Amino acid sequence: MFFCGGTVMAKIFHSCKKKSKIIAFTALVLLFFSVMLFCGFRPEKTASFFAMDTYCSVKVKGKNSADCVSEAEKLTRELDENILTRHNDFSFVSRLNSERKSVLDEKEKSRFETMLGLSRDSGGAFDFTLGALSDLWGFGEEPAVPDEKRISEVLGKTGFEKITLKGNEISFPQGIVIDMGAVGKGIALDEIKTVLDENKASSAVISIGGSILLYGKDDMTVGITDPTGKSQYMAVLIPGECCVSTSGSYERFFEQNGKKYHHILDPETGFPAENGLVSVTVCSESGLLSDALSTACFVLGKEKGMALLEKYGCEGVFIDGENGVSVTDGLKDRLEITDSRFVLRQV
């Protein structure tokens, strides 16, 4: 009886202990999640994919992170295939290039206004009408130095000043081939930013080739690619929440008779821009501007490029062929050169 009673008592005692253990465990689990939430824990999702002829990676934190990541990938692919590429026959830009006129929706109109404004402000260094010139150089297929006579023929038919934008109607003469190569990645970042805003994402890093969106209040670091190719990065930048785009002569080039020819063309000469720079990185709130300005500054060179950045309220890092690094005032305390072969230049 005692034993029995003892067993019953022990069982009751044991089940009490079990209950309190469960309660204690539940309390611990709840405490753990409260601490995690308090400390800013947010589910994180990542993805990497190939689009816009480059490698893309997406990392989003926040409760809708999975939706944001899949939407970012879908949006980048669709933007490329349906709107920006000139290498199929159904995208908006392909149809525009063959019909040479179109009625633009408000978003397209605003993009063209910005691009035309930058073409003017850069004195034509940035020119999105050079598709035929890029094709003549054969970038993307079998590149080779073209005949100079052909270059001047093509140049005679190109130029942003030949574009007419009246109200929502855009038109241009034969010979112009619109090329969004210098702005497409930035445009994609702007579109993805809208998705992140709508989903109230906590933070995100979106990388589309040489253009990166740093989203959210966390202080995030971006590496600046080593233009010499000897290491991965030569400096780190903590620019705050913005879009960061780099244009570099190392990104796409070929060699002929021992000389290197890259893909960023000087609209004045029709040849790859040559002013001593090997890369320009630009930070801006706008993806389109960061992308377009990095290309423009690469063509303009350091002095004129820095003046253009000032006019647009943007910051930048210019690297020259002698491993010299020049940085605008706003980034001076936010850049750390990590590779001792590179030296900071006085601006």
Site residues for Mg ion per CB under 5 A: 182, 291, 294-295
CB of 196 to ligand AMP, least distance (A): 22
Any bridge partners for residue 45, and if so which? 60
DSSP code per residue over 146-158: PPHHHHHHHHHH-
Work out whether 318 is an interface residue with ligand AMP (CB under 6 A). no
Nearer to Mg ion, 119 or 202 (CB): 119
Which does residue 130 bind out of Mg ion, ligand AMP, none, counting CB within 5 to 8 angstroms by kind? ligand AMP
Contact 225, 250 (CB under 8 A): yes
> Cα 120 vs. chain centroid, distance in angstroms?
23
Instruction: Count residues binding ligand AMP (CB under 6 A).
Output: 20
> Cα 59 vs. chain centroid, distance in angstroms?
14
Q: Token pair 């003892």 is at which residue?
A: 6
Which does residue 267 bind out of ligand AMP, Mg ion, none, counting CB within 5 to 8 angstroms by kind? ligand AMP
Greatest alpha-carbon span in the chain: 113
Q: Which long-range contacts (CB under 8 A, 24 or more apart) does 168-171 make?
A: 168/103, 168/104, 168/105, 168/106, 168/109, 169/101, 169/102, 169/103, 169/104, 170/96, 170/101, 170/102, 170/104, 170/109, 170/112, 171/100, 171/101, 171/102
Nearer to ligand AMP, 192 or 201 (CB): 192
- Distance (Å, rounded) from C-alpha 107 to C-alpha 275? 34
Sole binder of ligand AMP in the list 291, 312, 318, 319 (CB under 6 A): 291
Which does residue 136 bind out of Mg ion, ligand AMP, none, counting CB within 5 to 8 angstroms by kind? none
Work out whether 264 is an interface residue with ligand AMP (CB under 6 A). yes
CB of 177 to Mg ion, least distance (A): 17
Nearer to Mg ion, 182 or 242 (CB): 182
Q: What per-residue string of b and e applies to 104-130 under the rule 16 or more CB within 10 Å gives b? A: beeebbebbebbbebbebbebbbbbbb
Contact 166, 266 (CB under 8 A): no
- Considering only residues 70 to 129 of the shown chain, the ones binding ligand AMP according to CB under 6 A are 126-128
Which does residue 263 bind out of Mg ion, ligand AMP, none, counting CB within 5 to 8 angstroms by kind? ligand AMP
Work out whether 247 is an interface residue with ligand AMP (CB under 6 A). yes
Q: Which residue is nearest to ligand AMP (CB)?
A: 181
Which does residue 181 bind out of Mg ion, ligand AMP, none, counting CB within 5 to 8 angstroms by kind? ligand AMP
Residues engaged in binding ligand AMP (CB under 6 A): 126-128, 130, 134, 139, 179, 181-182, 210, 247, 251, 263-265, 267, 291, 294-295, 299
